[in-house]
Amino acid sequence: MEWVNVLIQGVLLGGLYALFAAGLSLMFGVMRFVNIAHGDFIVLAAYLMLSFVTFMGWHPALGIMAVVLVMGTIGYLGQRILLNRVLGKDILPPILVTFGLSIILQNGMMEVFSADSRRVSSGALDVASISLPGDLAIGAMPLLMFVVALGVLAGLHVLFFHTALGRLLRATSDDAEMVPLMGGNKAHIFALATMIASGVVAVAGIMLAMKTNFDPSAGPSRLLFAFEAVIIGGLGSLWGTLAGGVVLGVAQVVGAQIDAGFQILAGHLVFLLILVVRPQGLFARMKG
Amino acid sequence: MTTAPLTRRKAPVSLIAIFVTIVFLAAAPFWASRGTLNMLMEALAFLALAQMWNLLAGYTGLISVGQQAWVGLGGYLFFALAMFSGLPLLIALPVAALLSGLIAFPIGWIAFRLQGAYFAIGTWVIAEVFRLIAAQFSALGGGSGISLPIDVVKSLATSRGARDMVMYYIAFGLGIGSVVIVWLMLRSKWGLAFTAIRDSEPASESIGIRIRRVKFMVYVATAASTALTGGFIFLQKLRITPDAAFSVNEWSAFIIFIVVIGGIGSIEGPILGVILFFTLRSFAADWGSWYLITLGALAIGVMLVDRQGMWSILKSRGVPVLFKTTRWFEP
Amino acid sequence: MTPHNAFLEIRNLTAFYGDFQALFGIDLTMDEGDTMAVIGANGAGKSTILRTLTGLLPSKGQDIRFAGAAIAGQPAHLIHKAGIAMVPEGRRLFPSLTVEENLSIGASGKRKGPWSLAAIYELFPDLHDRRHHGGTALSGGQQQMVAIGRALMSNPRLLLCDEISLGLSPKVIKDIYTAVPLIRARGTSMLVIEQDIAQAMAVATRVICLQEGRVSLSGRPEDLSRAEITRAYFGLEADEPDTNEPAQEML
Ligand SMILES: Nc1ncnc2c1ncn2[C@@H]1O[C@H](COP(=O)(O)OP(=O)(O)O)[C@@H](O)[C@H]1O
Ligand SMILES: [Mg+2]
């Protein structure tokens, strides 16, 4: 029974990783561009949540809305003002600019919030759990997060496949050069894609803040988890990121069960294994 | 080749400048203070790392943010060999590099399944795997690392002055050697291959395969030489920990910023970058995080203004090219 | 006709791919309602004119006037909004979109006019049954119909067609070209690039011929002889003497 418990924990953790991955995957899908600062933006969202709710004492619901709003705005403006200028055939400039952003964000957050590790408490919810028959107990918080993750992915699905904007985003992913000939403003569409991705990042960051301790240097490993979930799931597949996240989550939780120091390593190793045996990922849709 | 009229040519200014610099650096143990010497050693090691990253990213387009994998592996293998194999230190260093090169074959094979920006992050994952594995070896101190035993250090030379001198000339060899090797490579038929890589990405199938092979070999070669430098760096530090050995900030961020700010895709760029980096650092010793923020902002600025970096700006102002790479093959 | 009243007026157009110059001073004028054919051998620069006109290639500083406004240097999506739509070379449908989505996306610029999904399905009834298929799962001819429909969905005043007959069977070409008068009837002017000279001459009210980035001939089809066209097209002296017969009848 213990292993069933472990498996459930892993799956639930996978929901969070799927959220990490969805933003990264969305930006790559639309713009063929990987944001190295992705993890640092997740941590930035976590600090925003901390500031609004813990420091300023706002109601959590208000805090969540504010974080999503602020992150979305940063995403839209950042794309239009900075990133659109460096996107092109040469992959070095976007990698470098976002690598630079990553360093700036990490050290900026260090200056503002210090290196102390932080957490946003959600009160009784932190420890509540739901007992199931057969000695199984599911933490209320992980379960809630998993449900929210599913909700966000479902929302993205509706957006992509049932709205005019989603149609434009998929078209941009297919052939960005043609989109202006359809009347689409590429700079604006790119910025909207980043805005949506940043909204997802905001939710991911809020969850991170409520789930574990975080500090200014927590971003890079979140980037790596996101990246691994994307590759495991298969490039360009929305629900693939969920599968990728779950595989990664289960691998980590099982690894931790074997040895506490083995949690992250187990996730990386499973990722490398899948890269070797199935480089296109579990549900590939798009070529890298 | 046309037969130009024979004229007596003066040695170009650039050759004189290079020669003077080399002599000046070679004589450093005789004029520099211990602090200066240490700083020069560090700068020369950074120069070697920067030249290698530049070879990889600037000439073959393989952008890695995981070169710390090889710095750290070189350091750890060197420590292991020095402590447990009984090999003399000066032998253990190249052996560690060679072993790293061997390991780079299977690792590269995995990393090459990813392309472009995903390759970059993949190399980072691999470096993390190395770090986490290194932390599992209790013989090498596990997560808290280990120091090189005194008797092992003393086997290099008994007096501290002599040890400094030996270490300095290793650093000198690494720094100058990296420049010379890259220069020679660019003037050989490899230089042509690099031009082909830059000009024709989705070329024909057969060229495509050959390009892949060249890229792979460059990946392995830079891994080995990065490991060699890594071994030296930790010989100089005398202590290694997983976090220091596989630090993404130290061995990727700094190196990448050095190359990019100095000028990617040129031999002069990394040299310029190292000089800038160490100059800035001497001013910014107590800036803390602001120093890193400044570097990050500079790198972003370079990408927005001129992606060829400071060297390209200097060149357009009439500074002569120091290292001609197209002597045999005019483009 | 004063130049300012011209519907489309291009003066001394040049274009470059890196250091390579593809166009050397092209002049082109169209009136509203015209169907202009641009002919010329492979590599003559025909598609390059369209790419510059639509803003796919930078056109800053050039002299291009459309419906009285200078459009050179404007971003492509604004040129599209001004009423120029293109059926690109090789169709370039969006592979992950269905036929209907491909058509709908053409209307992203939200221009008003006679064209709608229903009107497109009326023009190309084949597409109606396949509207939920993937855009690239159709036959070549049907894909071309989607590409044309997608361009029409923006209700353009000027429709640019780049080699719509390429790779299609004569019967399919005929089917597609039967749409041309219907499109014109709804008030759209057309600029078509064709390798099939006979086809071009049959629909065009004006024709220009390009050769290595320069205009080698221009006029009304009925005024041009076959020999003139052959010379302009291939850059060679024609074998037979100039007979001055109208070209359409001979080709
Ligand atoms: N993307 C490109 N890069 C470089 N040269 C190009 C490119 N596209 C076209 N050319 C060159 O420009 C010239 C005109 O091309 P194009 O306008 O496509 O000719 P066509 O008349 O067949 O449509 C040709 O010589 C072609 O080789
Ligand atoms: Mg063409």
Strand C158-162 with A129-132, pairing: unpaired
Strand C20-30 with C8-17, pairing: antiparallel
Nearest CA in chain B to A102: B296
Cα C229 to averaged position of ligand 1 atoms, centre (Å): 22
Mutate: best of B114, B121, B306, partner A, most A CBs <10 A: B121
- Cα radius of gyration (chain C): 18
Contacts of A100 (CB under 8 A, 6+ apart): B257, B295, B296, B297, B299, B300, B303
Residue range A8-60, pLDDT digits in tens: 999 999 999 999 999 999 999 999 989 999 999 999 999 999 999 999 999 99
Residue range A269-288, pLDDT digits in tens: 999 999 999 888 887 665 44
Decide: B and C in contact? Rule: 3+ Cβ pairs under 8 Å. no
pLDDT of residue C105: 95
In 3D, which of B313, B319, B310, B302 has the Cα closest to residue B263? B310
Measure Cα distances from C230 to B58, C39, C93, C164 in Å. 50, 11, 34, 22
Residue range C97-139, pLDDT digits in tens: 999 999 999 998 888 889 999 999 999 999 999 999 988 789 9
Q: How many domains does chain C have?
A: 1
Q: How many domains does chain A have?
A: 1
Q: A190 to chain C, minimum CA–CA distance in Å?
A: 14
Domain span at residue A117 reads 19-216
Percent of chain B residues past pLDDT 70, beyond the cut: 91
Q: Which amino acid is at B232?
A: F
Residue B234 structure tokens: 């930790």
Chain A residues near residue C104 by CB distance under 8 angstroms: 164, 167
Q: B296 to chain A, minimum CA–CA distance in Å?
A: 4
Percent of chain B residues past pLDDT 90, beyond the cut: 64
Domain span at residue C141 reads 8-250
Cβ(C48) – ligand 1 distance below 6 Å:
yes
pLDDT of residue C200: 83
Q: Specify if A84 maps to a domain.
A: yes
Cβ(C144) – ligand 1 distance below 6 Å:
no
Cβ(C132) – ligand 1 distance below 6 Å:
no
Res C246 pLDDT > 70: no
* A86 in reach of chain C (CB within 8 A): no
The CATH number that applies at residue C82 is 3.40.50.300
Q: Between residues 198 and 217 of chain A, which touch chain B (CB distance below 8 Å)?
A: none
pLDDT of residue C132: 94
* CA–CA gap between residue B60 and residue B73 (Å, rounded): 23
Q: Specify if C2 maps to a domain.
A: no
Task: Map out the domains of chain B as residue ranges.
Answer: 23-246
Residue range C47-78, pLDDT digits in tens: 999 999 999 998 888 999 999 899 999 999 99
What is the number of the ligand closest to the CA of C213?
1
pLDDT of residue A261: 84
Cβ distance A288 to B129 less than 8 Å, yes or no, reads: no
Res B324 pLDDT > 90: no
Residue range B192-221, pLDDT digits in tens: 777 777 666 555 566 677 788 889 999 999
pLDDT of residue A138: 87
Mean pLDDT computed over B261-265: 93
Dihedral of CA C166/C171/C175/C180: which sign? positive
Cβ distance A183 to C81 less than 8 Å, yes or no, reads: yes
Residue range B77-107, pLDDT digits in tens: 999 999 999 899 999 999 999 999 999 999 9
* CA–CA gap between residue B323 and residue B18 (Å, rounded): 9
pLDDT of residue C4: 53
Q: Specify if A106 maps to a domain.
A: yes
Q: Calculate the average pLDDT of chain B.
A: 89
Residue A84 φ then ψ, to 5°: -60, -30
| Sequential DSSP letters for B229-289 | HHHHHHHHH-EE-HHHHT-HIIIIIHHHHHHHHH-TTSSHHHHHHHHHHHHHHHH-TT-TH
Residue A86 structure tokens: 């460096």
Strand, helix or coil for residue C210: strand
Q: Is residue C217 classed exposed, middle or buried when 0-12, 13-18 and 19+ CB atoms within 10 A define those classes?
A: middle
* A151 in reach of chain B (CB within 8 A): no
Banded pLDDT at B10 (limits 50, 70, 90)? low
Strand, helix or coil for residue C70: strand
pLDDT of residue A231: 94
Residue range A91-144, pLDDT digits in tens: 899 999 999 999 999 999 999 999 999 999 877 777 788 887 777 888 888 999
Cβ distance B125 to A228 less than 8 Å, yes or no, reads: yes
Nearest neighbour of B121 by CB, restricted to A82, A224, A264: A224
CA B151 to chain centre: 30
Residue C206 φ then ψ, to 5°: -145, 155
pLDDT of residue A224: 97
* CA–CA gap between residue B244 and residue B242 (Å, rounded): 6
CA B184 to chain centre: 16
Q: Specify if A97 maps to a domain.
A: yes
Cβ(C17) – ligand 1 distance below 6 Å:
yes
Cβ(C22) – ligand 1 distance below 6 Å:
yes
Q: How many inter-chain contacts (A to C, CB under 8 Å) are there?
A: 64
Mean pLDDT computed over B15-41: 89
Percent of chain A residues past pLDDT 70, beyond the cut: 98
Chain A residues near residue C55 by CB distance under 8 angstroms: 180
| pLDDT: which is higher, B72 or C164 | B72
- Cα radius of gyration (chain A): 19
Q: Specify if C3 maps to a domain.
A: no
User: Which of the listed residues C19, C23, C47, C164 should we mutate to test ligand 1's pocket, taking the one with most ligand atoms within 8 A of CB?
Assistant: C47
Looking at the predicted complex, does its ipTM rise above 0.90? yes
Contacts of B282 (CB under 8 A, 6+ apart): none
* A127 in reach of chain B (CB within 8 A): no
* A220 in reach of chain B (CB within 8 A): yes
Q: Which amino acid is at C169?
A: S
Q: Calculate the average pLDDT of chain A.
A: 92
Cα C6 to averaged position of ligand 1 atoms, centre (Å): 28
Banded pLDDT at A253 (limits 50, 70, 90)? very high
